[in-house]
Amino acid sequence: MKKNLLIVLAFLFTIFIVSFYVFKVIFFSDETSKYQNNYKNLSDISKESCLQCHTNTTGFSVYHNPESIGCISCHLGNGKSFNKVEAHTNMVVIPGNLIDAEKTCGKCHASELSKIKNSIMTTNSGIIAVDKYIFGEAVSPNNQYHINALKNSPSDKHIRDLCANCHLGSKKDTLGPITELSRGGGCNACHLNYSIEAQKALSVYLNSSKTKLPKIHPSTSVLINDTHCFGCHSRSSRISTNYQGWSETLLDSKVAIQNKKYRIIDDTRVYRYIKEDVHHAKGMLCIDCHSSQEVMGDGNKYLHEEDAVKIQCSDCHFKNQPKTIAYDSLDAESINVFLHRNYKHFKKPIIAVKNGGHPLVNTYIDTLGNAFLIGKKDGALHKIPPQSSICARDNVHKAVSCSSCHSSWTSRCIGCHTQFDKNETKAFDLLDKKFVKGQWKEYAGEFDASLPALGVKYFRSKKQIMPAIPGMILSIDLGSFNVNRDSSILFHRIYAPNSPHTTVKKARDCKSCHSNPLALGYGNGNLRYEIKKGLGNWKFNAEYVPNKYDQIPEDAWISFLEHTNSTKIYSTRTDFRPFTLEEQKKLLLVGTCLECHLETSKIMQQSLSKGLKPLLKKTSNKCILPTWH
C-alpha cells in the first residue's frame, strides 16, 4: 500500500513538473516559438540554403537566431536556391529600414511597426509645423505633417537642407554599427548592435572586396544604449549631450584642445563640460526612463514631442503611493521586454506612469513600499528616493515643474541668421539624398549655457511653470530665396519649452528664480533692487545691446517689466508663453523679500505653505516694498 502511494505521488510530481514547464513556455517566453511556427508556415527553416555558405556564423541574439526564425525572415531572398545569384534575388542586406520593415521586422512585430509609423520621430510633424509657422506659411504650429510629403516651399526647402536627416524613415544603407553620425535607420536606429568582434569581422569582409564572409553577425535586441539616441538628439535642444554634461561651443575643432574640459564629437562640433545629469552619473541610460511604449509611440499622432512624452519625475519619485501594475496585467510588448531582460520580479508591483498608464518594467516596489530601478546598462539596482519633503509640503509651487528647479543648466543659442545661397552648387537634399543647387545656410551668433529661463505652459489643461530656451532669436532672409516677396526679412524672438536633462539633486535657490533676470525672461544683465527716499524700485541693465529689429536685448525673451502682447508670437507653441507683467511683479515681490530674509528663515518657509499675501499684512516699518511704474 505504501509502495503504491509513493508511485502515485511520483506520478503526480512528474505531471506537476511537466505542467509547470508547459506553463512557463506558454506564458513566460517572448513568443519566439510562436514566431518560429509562423515562419515555418512560409518555409522550412532546416532546408534554407543560406547557412550552406554562411557557415558557423555567430553573434545573433537569442531571439533572432536563424535556428529559431531562419535567415530569410529578416533578409528575404530565395532560401530554396543554392545558386548565389538566385538566392540573393530580392534580398534585403540591411533589414529594418521603414521602407521595407513590413516585409522584415513587421512580420513578427506588426503592432510595434504600426505604432512607429505614427511616432513623431517618424513623421517629424512638430519640427515641420514650427518651421512653417515661423516662415509664415501656416497660421499655427499645431498642424499635422509628414516629412515624406515635403515639397519645395521656403520652409520645406529649409527642412530638406538642414533638418531632414533626423527621422526614423531616413534609410540606413551602409553596413556597420550605429554611431554619433547615424541618423534614422528605422528599427536599426535603436535595435542594431555590433559587438567589437562583429565590427572586426565586418572590416575583414569589406577589406577583402567582400570575399571573406564575416563569421560574426551583428545582433538585434532590446539592449539599447545611449549611442542609439545620440545621433539625432545631440541636435536642436541637445538633450543627449546635455545629459552627459556637454555644452556646444562655436570653437573650431582644428584648434580646440580635446581634454577633460572639451570634447570633439564625430561631426567635429566642439563641446565643453559643464555638469552631467545625476541619472547619467549613476550609470542610467535614456531608456531607463523613456520606455519602448514612449519611444516607439503608442499609436497616436501628437503635435509636439512633449505631448508624446508621458513619464514625469513624480512617477518614480512619488509623494504618497505610486501607480503600479502587476506582472500578469502587463501588455504583450512589456512582457517581451521584461523577459528579454531576464527580470525576476514577477510577484512585485511594477511602477506605471500616471499619464497613460504604461509600465516601467525595470522598476518595482518591495514589501516595505520602497521603490527600485534596475539599470538597463549594467543591471545595477538603484533605490529610488521619494519626493523631497520640501517639495511634498510646498503648496505655492505646485504648478512648478521638477525640471524648473532641478535643472542645473541648459543650452542657449542667440543671434542666428538664416539665408538662402542660390549659387551653392554642392547643396545636399537630406530628404531625397541627392545633390542639388541652392541651399539654406545658418549663421550662428553665440552659444552659451546657464540656468534656464522659465515660462508658462498649459500642459494637458494644467498651468505649469517649466524651463524655456531661446528657440529662435533669428532673422530669416526670405528675399534671398524669392526676390518677389514683399518682406525680405523675417525676425522672430521665440523661446521653446524645454526639459534640459541636466537634473541635479539640489534645487536652484529662490533668488535664482525670483531675482534672476534670465529666469524672468529679461536676459543676462544686472537686476537689482534700489531704495531711494523711502521708495523701492527694481532696476535692470542688460548685458546685450538691443536688437535692431525689436529694440529688445539680444538674448532676452521679453522687455523688462513691460506688458506682453497677446497677439505677438513669443513661442514655438501656442500654449507656452513668457510671464505676464502681473506675474513678473509677483515674482519680483518675493525677490524683494529675499533681499533681507534668507530663504531658510521662518517667514520665507511659512510663505511656501501659506503664500506671501497673508504675510504682507504683518510687514514692519523696515519693509520697503516695490513701487511699480
pLDDT for position 32: 39
Cut 0.85: pTM above it:
yes
By CB neighbour count within 10 A (0-12 exposed, 13-18 middle, 19+ buried), where does 455 fall?
Answer: buried
Give 375's Cβ-side CA count (13 Å radius).
Answer: 16
Q: How far apart are CA 135 and CA 492, in angstroms?
A: 10
Query: Which residues are CB-contacts of 96 (< 8 A; sequence separation ≥ 6)?
Result: 104, 105, 172, 185, 186, 187, 188, 191, 192, 220
- Comparing C-alpha atoms, which of 166, 137, 138 is closest to residue 153? 137
Predicted confidence (pLDDT) per residue in 459-503, tens digit: 777 899 999 999 888 999 998 998 665 568 899 999 999 999 999
Query: Which residues are CB-contacts of 297 (< 8 A; sequence separation ≥ 6)?
Result: 115, 116, 118, 119, 120, 121, 122, 308
Task: Transcribe 277-331 into DSSP letters.
Answer: -HHHHTT--GGGTS-HHHHS--S---SSHHHH----HHHHS-SS---EE-GGG--
Is the model's pLDDT at 401 over the cut of 60? Answer: yes
Is the model's pLDDT at 19 over the cut of 60? Answer: no
**Least confident window among 89-93, 406-410, 455-459:** 455-459
Mean pLDDT value of segment 287-314: 93
What's the DSSP call for residue 567? T
- Comparing C-alpha atoms, which of 243, 584, 591 is closest to residue 403? 243
Predicted confidence (pLDDT) per residue in 103-132, tens digit: 999 999 999 999 999 999 999 999 999 999
Is the model's pLDDT at 16 over the cut of 50? Answer: no
Ordered by start, the domain boundaries in the chain are 1-26, 32-124+164-221, 239-274, 286-311+318-386, 392-618
pLDDT for position 34: 42
- Roughly how many angstroms between the first and final C-alpha of the chain, as a whole number? 103
pLDDT for position 25: 38
Is the model's pLDDT at 15 over the cut of 90? Answer: no
In 71-218 the beta strands, taken as DSSP E runs, fall at 192-193
Cell triple for 462? 494644467
pLDDT for position 30: 42
Q: How far apart are CA 626 and CA 462, in angstroms?
A: 30
Count the helix, strand and coil residues of the chain and give each as a percent rounded to the nearest 5.
Answer: 30, 20, 50
pLDDT for position 37: 43
Block residue for cell numbers 522584415: 104
- Comparing C-alpha atoms, which of 103, 35, 185, 270 is closest to residue 194? 185
Element (H, E) at 24: helix 2-27
Triad 237, 238, 242: Cα angle to 5°: 120
Cβ count within 10 A of residue 63: 20
Mean pLDDT, all residues of the chain:
89
Is 287 within 8 Å of 361 (Cβ atoms)? no
Crossing angle of the two packed helices 332-340 and 110-118, in degrees rounded to 10: 110
Longest alpha-carbon distance in the chain: 109
Query: How would residue 315 be classed by pLDDT, with cut points 50, 70 and 90?
Result: very high
Mean pLDDT value of segment 584-607: 92
Mean pLDDT value of segment 560-565: 91
pLDDT for position 393: 64
